[in-house]
Structure 1
Amino acid sequence: MHDQSAANDSSEGSQTHGMEGSPADERSGPSRFSDSGTPGQPQEGGAKSTYNILVVEDDPTLATLETDTLTAQGYTVVTVHSGELAITTLHHAIPDLVVLDLELTGEIHGWDVLQALRSLASIPVLITSSSASHARLYMRERGETRLTLDHLPKPYPLQALLKRIQRMLPISPAH
């Protein structure tokens, strides 16, 4: 069972749910979230280890809802509220999947985070935004499939979020 309490790390606006250990040294490159000290725990059926998800969402209410929902399903979740914190987090550890709001406030937007992530790793990303056309165009231009990059238009029911994540996770290279 995962710890449901949030523990702030040294960066304001970042929450960790069910994850212990310190980030990897930046000089050695990003590690997997699962390498950070949390042993894998069986999911339903006991076949798979816990998946690690990074939620990048600047709306605190939605971020809490997504994080609580995913944690209740047995996922290890790290939540950040800005593009800057997302990129910093990705340089320390690579999750199995990223839920990414494209419409982040601040100087670094969701597209910047996606570009930084793709330079580090090829993992599934679920984009959340109210605009579908830019996401679909990006997917076509880059040759991404719905298994590596998908779009969930806001607003969405949390059940739709869970279904998309469950469909995307089996392709994660760590599992």
Structure 2
Amino acid sequence: MSSYKIMIVEDDVNIGDMLEEVLKLESYEVTRAYSGTEALMLLEKGRPDLILLDLMLPGLSGEELITKFNGILTIVLSAKSDIDSKINLLKKGACDYVTKPFELSELLARIEAHLRLMKENSYQSQPLDEGVIKAGEIMLDTNLMTVTIGDSEVSLTRTESAILNILMLNPNRPIGRSTILDRISESTPDCTERSLKQHICNIRKKLQQMDNIDHIEAIYGIGFQFHES
């Protein structure tokens, strides 16, 4: 049986009921929120593994809400089908975008695929001690602001360390520029959208000098993606 927890954020009762019934048949644990405010209240009580998010919500809209999910896998469910809307939501942190109306079998397959990838990544990229994470052969110490590959070690700036930390905690998953900037805003407020590209470039060079592998890929229109090898 699945132990994964899924939150449905949908104000349409009929759609929400349908999703809840199908997900429970697949042995997922389900919670429901009917507005953006209610979703935030539920998040204070517990963090789900994945969120199904409608955009047209009372109170906080889905676009506003998604920036507050702090890295939780989020599949947007929306009648908006234009490419700009999809790109905008992916930049803000969505892992997928499903256009209404949708086939339940396809949605279930996408949910399963994202949760499987999350599980695989949790083994590949795990915190060791506080401030230290490892992805493949790469180890980042955010306290010392150093990154190690094998016997080689280089120093990072505070901003570079914060950016690499986010990317390494989300291996093989595109992370939007705005998502990166939002998550490092408190610790490194000096980083801007204009300077982010240069910081990424510096990190790529430092890693590549150690093992001749380009570990960070630029995803056109979205952001960046970390590869451990």
AA in 2 matched with 1:171:
L
Q: 1:114 aligns with which of 66, 78, 84?
A: 66
User: In the TM superposition, what are the counterparts of 1:40-59 in structure 2 within 5 Å?
Assistant: 42-43=1-2, 50-59=3-12
Runs of at least 4 residues off by over 6 Å: none
Deviations 1:75-134 (A, max 9, x none): 000011111101111122110000000111x2211112211112xxx1211100011331
Per the TM alignment, residue 171 of structure 1 is displaced from its structure 2 partner at its CA by 3.2
AA paired with 1:61?
N
Contact persistence 2:63–2:89 (CA under 8 A): no
Alignment of 1:18-97 (within 5 A): 42-43=1-2, 50-97=3-50
What TM-score do you get using the length of structure 1 for normalisation? Answer: 0.62
Structure 2, gaps ≥5 residues long: 124-229
Instruction: With a CA cutoff of 8 Å and minimum separation of 6, indicate the structure with the bigger relative contact order.
Output: 1
3-state DSSP of counterpart to 2:76: strand
* 1:122-133 to 2 correspondences below 5 Å: 122-132=71-81, 133=83
| Equivalent residue number for residue 137 of structure 1 | 88
Distance in 2, Cα, partners of 1:138 & 1:113: 11
Contact 1:57–1:63 at 8 Å: present in 2 too? yes
| Alignment of structure 1 residues 90-105 onto 2, 5 Å | 90-104=43-57
- TM-score normalized by the length of structure 2: 0.48
Match of 2:103 in 1: 157
Sequence identity of aligned pairs in percent? 27
Aligned partners of 1:150 and 1:58: how far apart in 2?
A: 20
Q: Distance in 2 between matches of 1:61 and 1:76?
A: 19
Q: Distance in 2 between matches of 1:83 and 1:136?
A: 21
* Number of equivalenced pairs: 119
Larger Rg: 2
Q: Is the 8 A contact 1:97 1:172 kept in 2?
A: no
Q: Which amino acid aligns with 2:118?
A: S
Amino acid corresponding to residue 83 of structure 1 in structure 2 = G
Cα distance in structure 2, aligned partners of 1:162 and 1:75: 11
